[in-house]
A and B are shown apart, each in its own frame.
Chain A
Amino acid sequence: MKGLFLILALVAPVSPGMGQEPSSPLRPLRKTEAIPSLEPVTWERLRNAAEEPQNWLMYSGTLDSQRFSRLDQVRRENVSELELKWAYQIPEIDRAETVPLVVDGVMFITESPSNVVAVDAGTGRPYWRYEHELPEDLRICCGRNNRGVAILGETLFMSTLDAHLVAIDARSGSLKWNIEVADHKAGYSKTEAPLVVKDLVVTGIAGGEYGIRGFLDAYKPHTGERAWRLYTIPGPGEPGNETWAGESWKTGGAPTWITGSYDPELNLIYWGTGNPGPDWNGEVRMGDNLYSDSALGVEADTGKLAWYFQFTPWDVHDWDAIQVPILTDLELNGEARKVMMWANRNSFYYTLDRKTGEFLVGKPYAKQTWAEGLDERGRPIRAPGKLPTPEGNVVSPPILGGTNWYSPAYSPRTELFYVNAYDGEQEYFIREEEYREGEQYTGGGAQNVQPIDKYKSAIRALDPRTGDLRWEFEIQPRSSSGLLATAGDLVFGGTVDGYFFALDAESGRELWHVAVGARVHSAPITYAVNGRQLVTIAAGNVVFTFGLD
C-alpha cells in the first residue's frame, strides 16, 4: 500500500471548482450556476473507484463497500493536527444522514427532505441545488432522511421520500427524469442511495413499518425505464411463498432501504432486506418469512435471485438485515474464499461465501439473549422465553440492534472488520393490529427499561476469519455513526453527543477527536482536492470538512 499517496499526487492536481468563488449566496434557490466541468463518471471509473481515492464515487466508496480509502496523507502520526477547513449548513433542518459523493473537486450532498446540493469540495461553496417537490401526505417511519446519491456519466440518481427516483444533471442540477417507484400513499418511501451497476441504477425501497411488499429494482439510466424488479417476498407459486401463513406475504415488509454491494467478477449484487411485517406480532405470519432479514445474492443483469441467507427467520424483534455487505477475499482454513462480512442487527457477526451464500463463520459481537447460538448452517437456535408478550419481555439486543444501518468498514491492511456495536436491551411488546393501507402496521413495540448510560457502546474490531474481538473503543453514551478506514491506518467515526474522532486501526487507541456539536448520524468520507486529503462528516445539520494545515 505504500506509494499510494504518489497516485494521489499524480491524479489530483486539478480541482475544477477550486479558486472560483461562486457568486451565489450560501443558499441559492434551485439552479444557479453550472459546475465548470465534470469528467463523466463512466462504469469503468466506478468499477475501479479504489484507484482514484481523491474521489468518493458511491455511497460506500467502492463496489465492495469496504469504506476503505487508499489515501494516507492523514495518518496516525499527524491526524491530531486535523483542523476545520469548511462547514456547509444544510438549510432544511433535520437529522442529516447524508453520505456525500465527491467527483473531481465537486461534492454532492443530499439534504432533508429530498434535495441535493452541489458544492465546491475544496471550499463548501454551493453551485446549485435541486429541490424535489413532495406531497404532504408522506408515510415515513423515521424522519425526513436521505442518505445520498449515485452517479453515472454526468447524471445523479436520488431516492425521494415520496418513493420516486429522480435523475438530475450533475452539472446544472436540472431534472432529467422523475419516476414513481411505488405508491407513497400505501406506505412506500425511499431514503437510500442507489447503486450503479454497469448500465443499471439499482435501488431499494423503505416502508417496513407500513405492511408493504418489499422489492429491489433496477432502472435504465437514460430513461428511467424499469429493467427488472425482484420482490423480496415471493408470490404464490414461487419458492418461499409457503414460509408466510395465509395471505400474510402481501403485507410482509422485507424492505431494502440500505445500499448494497456488487462483485463484477461474479456479476452478483448483494443487498440486505429488512424486517417482516408486522414487526413484532409474528403470530399473523407464521413461518420463516422468506426473504425478510436476509442477505440476497442477485444476478445483476436479470434481477434473478442467485442465493439467499436468512439471518433471522421469523423475526419478531424488528432486526432488519439492513447492513451494508462488505466484500473481500480471505484465506479461510487454508482455502481462498470470496467472502461477505456482515455484523447483523441481531448481534451476530457472519462471514459468508459470496458465491453461494454458504455460512462460514458466525459469532455474537454484541450482547444478545435471544439465541443459544447458531447451528452449522448459521441458523439461530432460539432461546426459550424470548418472544415479545402483551406484558412485555426484556431481550437483547434492543430494536436498534447490536448495530443498525450504520456503515461498517474493513481495512485490507489490518484485515479487520470495524463495526459500531451496542450491548443494550429493551422490553418488547406484542399487540393485535389490523392492516390498513398507508397506516403503520407493527403489531407491538418496545420501551427502554434503563437509561442508555447503563449500557455499553463501542467501536469493535473483529477478525473476519473467526469473529473474534481484536479491540474495542468504548463510546459514552453511544454512537449511530458509520465508519471509515484509511491507508493512514485510521478508523473515523462519531457519537450521538456530537464528537467526531479517529482511532488507530490496529489498536483502537484514540488519536484525535473534535466536538462537532450535534449527533453524528451519517458516515465519514475522505477525498482530496489539489493533492490535499480531506475528511468530511455530517453532524446535526452541518457538513464539516477537516484537513491538515
Chain B
Amino acid sequence: MGVASFVPVVLVSGFFWIPPPAEAQENPFDTEVDARIGGRVFLAECGRCHGNDAKGNDETDAPDLTRGRFRNASTDAGLFQVIRDGVPGTTMIGIGWAPDPTIWQIVAYVNSLRIDPADYDLPGSVDQGRRIFNGKGNCASCHVVHGIGGRLGPDLSTVANRRKPEELKTDLTDPDETVEPRWWTLKVTRADGSVAEGLRMNEDTFTLRIMDGDESLRHFSKKDLRSIERIETSTMPSVSGTLTASEVDDLVAYLFSLRKESGT
C-alpha cells in the first residue's frame, strides 16, 4: 500500500487519511519504456476484466480504457489512485500491494492507448470537411454534432476520442464494416400482421424499443409480436458514390477534429 503519498489529518473523531489533490502529481514514470512495462503488468493484472485490448467487457462491467476518458479519474494522479485503491462501490479492485512505480507505469500504458492527434498528419481540410458534413454529404440530417443534427445516427460530437482516422474512413466508405448493436435495425411483425421498423434503441429478454424514420420511439413487448427480424447492417449509405476521394479526406479531417479534450 503506497501510504507514503498520503497526508495524515487529525480530526476530532479520529484519524483520517486523505489523498493529496489529484492535480498535485504528474506521472514520474511516463516514458515509452515505462508504458511498455506497464502494459505487461496491465495484461496480467487488469486484462482479465478490461480485456487484452483494454476495450472493456460487457460481462465484467469493465469499461473501455482506450478512449482517453475515464469514469473515475480525469488526471494521472486520479488514475494512479484508482489503480492502487480500486473504486468503492464497483467490482474494480485496486492493486495496492504493487510498488508505486509499477502503478505509475500502468498509468503510462493506459495513457498510451489514447488516440493522440499529434500522431496523425491528415491530408484533408477540417473546414472543407465541415462544409461537406453540413452540405453535400447530408450527414447532419442523421448525426448530431454539438447539439445540432438528426438522431438517426450516432452523436459525433466526440467521435475522435473513439475512432482513429483510418477507422473513420472505413465508417464512411464501408458503413457495414462495424455496426454497433444500438444501430442495428429491427423489423417487428405484430400479431395482426402489421409491421414496424426502426433503429434498435433497446432490446432485452422481454421488450424492445425502436426509433422509426420519423424519430418516433415505439415500445413493444416481445410476447405481443409474431416475429422479430434483426438487420445488422448500417442504415447509412456509403459515401463512395457521392464524394470524391479528396472530399472523403476532408470529411475525415473534420470528424477527427471532433473531440473532448482531456479535463474538459
Please, which residues of chain A bring their CB within 8 A of the CB of B90? 93-94
Residue of A nearest to B228 (CB): A476
Would you call B205 and A499 a contact (CB within 8 A)? yes
Q: Which of chain B's residues have a CB closer than 8 A to the CB of A140?
A: 93
Which of A143, A439, A452 is within 8 Å of B93, CB to CB?
A: A143
Task: Find out whether the CB atom of A451 lies under 8 angstroms from the CB atom of B93.
Answer: no
| B93 and A144 contacting across the interface, CB-CB below 8 Å | yes
Whether A299 is near chain B, meaning CB under 8 Å from some CB there, is no
Residue from B49, B51, B59, B203 whose CB has the most chain A CB atoms within 10 Å:
B59
Pick from B44, B58, B223: contact of A433, CB under 8 Å: B44
Question: Across the interface, do B97 and A438 meet the contact criterion of CB distance under 8 Å?
Answer: yes
Q: Is the Cβ of A452 less than 8 Å from the Cβ of B44?
A: no
A169 at the interface (CB under 8 A from B): no
Instruction: Report A194-209 CB contacts with B as 1/0, cut-off 8 Å.
Output: 0000000000000001
A264 to B55, CA, bound (A): 48
Q: Nearest Cβ in chain A — how far from B75, in angstroms?
A: 23
Residue of A nearest to B208 (CB): A476
- Tell me if A289 is interfacial: C-beta within 8 Å of chain B: no
Asked whether A480 lies within 8 Å of B59 as measured between CB atoms, the reply is yes
Residues in A with CB closer than 8 Å to B96 are 136-137
Answer whether residue A477 sits at the interface, using C-beta atoms and an 8 A cutoff.
yes
Contact partners of A499 in chain B: CB under 8 A: 204-206
- The one of B51, B180, B205 that contacts A495, using a Cβ cutoff of 8 Å: B205
Identity of the chain B residue whose Cβ is nearest the Cβ of A392 in the assembled complex: B52
What number of residue pairs across chains A and B have CB atoms under 8 A from each other? Answer: 94
Residues of A within 8 A of B57 (CB): 448
Q: Closest CB-CB distance, B207 to chain A, in whole Å? A: 9
When each residue 140-154 of chain A gets 1 if its CB lies under 8 Å from chain B and 0 otherwise, what string results? 111110000000000
Q: How far is the CB of B205 from chain A (nearest CB, A)?
A: 5
| CB-based nearest B residue for A399 | B48
From B52, B89, B91, contact of A142 by CB (8 A): B91
Binary contact readout A59-96 vs B (1 if CB under 8 angstroms, 0 otherwise): 00000000000000000000000000000000001110
Asked if B43 contacts A431 (CB within 8 A), the reply is yes
Chain B contact residue count (CB 8 A cutoff) = 33
Whole-angstrom distance from the CB of A424 to the nearest CB of chain B?
9
Pair B44/A93 contact, Cβ less than 8 Å? no
* Chain B residues, Cβ within 8 Å of A143: 91, 93
Contact present for A429 and B52 (CB under 8 Å): yes
Does chain B have a CB within 8 A of A497?
yes
Q: Tell me what chain B mostly uses at the interface: helix, strand, loop, or mixed.
A: loop
Taking A136-B96, A476-B203 as contacts, is the C-beta distance between A445 and B48 under 8 angstroms? yes
Q: How far is the CA of A442 from the CA of B88 in the complex (A)?
A: 25
* Pair A447/B91 contact, Cβ less than 8 Å: no
Assess whether A446 is interfacial by the CB under 8 Å rule: yes
* Shortest distance from the beta carbon of A322 to any chain B beta carbon, whole Å: 15
Contact status A136-B1, CB under 8 Å: yes
B93 with A445: CB separation less than 8 A: no
Contact A452–B59 (Cβ < 8 Å)? yes
Residue of B nearest to A185 (CB): B97
Residue of A nearest to B206 (CB): A513
| Least distance between A228 CB and chain B CB atoms (Å) | 31
Interface residues of B in 109-134 (CB under 8 A from A): none
Q: From B98, which residue of chain A is reached at the shortest CB distance? A: A439
Q: Is the CB of A474 within 8 A of B205?
A: yes
Bound-state Cα–Cα, A451 to B93, Å: 25
Q: Please measure, in the bound complex, the distance between the C-alpha atom of A451 and the C-alpha atom of B182, giving whole angstroms.
A: 10
Collect the chain A residues with CB atoms within 8 Å of residue B97's CB: 137, 139, 185, 438
Chain B proximity of A160: nearest CB distance (Å):
15
> Quick check: B203 and A445 within 8 Å, CB to CB?
no
* Interface flags, A430-462, vs B, CB<8A=1, else 0: 010100001111100111100111100000000
Report Cα–Cα, A447/B180, bound state, in Å. Answer: 17
Chain A residues with Cβ below 8 Å from B223 are 510
Closest chain-B Cβ to A235's Cβ sits at a distance in Å of: 27
Q: Does B45 contact A (CB under 8 A)?
A: yes
Choose from A94, A446, A454, A495 the contact partner of B89 (Cβ within 8 Å).
Answer: A94
A478 touches B59 (CB 8 A): yes
- Least CB distance from B130 to A in Å reads 31
Residue of B nearest to A143 (CB): B91
**In the bound complex, how far is the Cα of B205 from the Cα of A474, in angstroms?**
7
Contact of A440 among B48, B52, B206 (CB under 8 A): B48
CA distance A129 to B178 in the complex (A): 50
Instruction: Give 20 A-B pairs besides A185-B97, A475-B205, A478-B59 with Cβ atoms closer than 8 angstroms.
Output: A93-B88, A137-B96, A142-B49, A142-B60, A143-B91, A400-B59, A427-B52, A439-B44, A439-B98, A446-B51, A447-B51, A451-B58, A451-B180, A452-B58, A454-B232, A496-B59, A497-B204, A499-B204, A499-B206, A510-B206
Those 4 A-B pairs whose CB atoms lie nearest each other, nearest first: A93-B89, A453-B181, A143-B91, A445-B47
Interface residues of B (CB under 8 A from A): 1, 43-45, 47-49, 51-53, 55, 57-61, 88-91, 93, 96-98, 180-181, 184, 203-206, 223, 232
Report 14 cross-chain contacts, Cβ distance below 8 Å, ordered by A residue: A137-B1, A140-B93, A142-B48, A142-B49, A429-B52, A440-B45, A442-B44, A452-B58, A453-B181, A454-B232, A474-B205, A478-B59, A499-B204, A513-B205
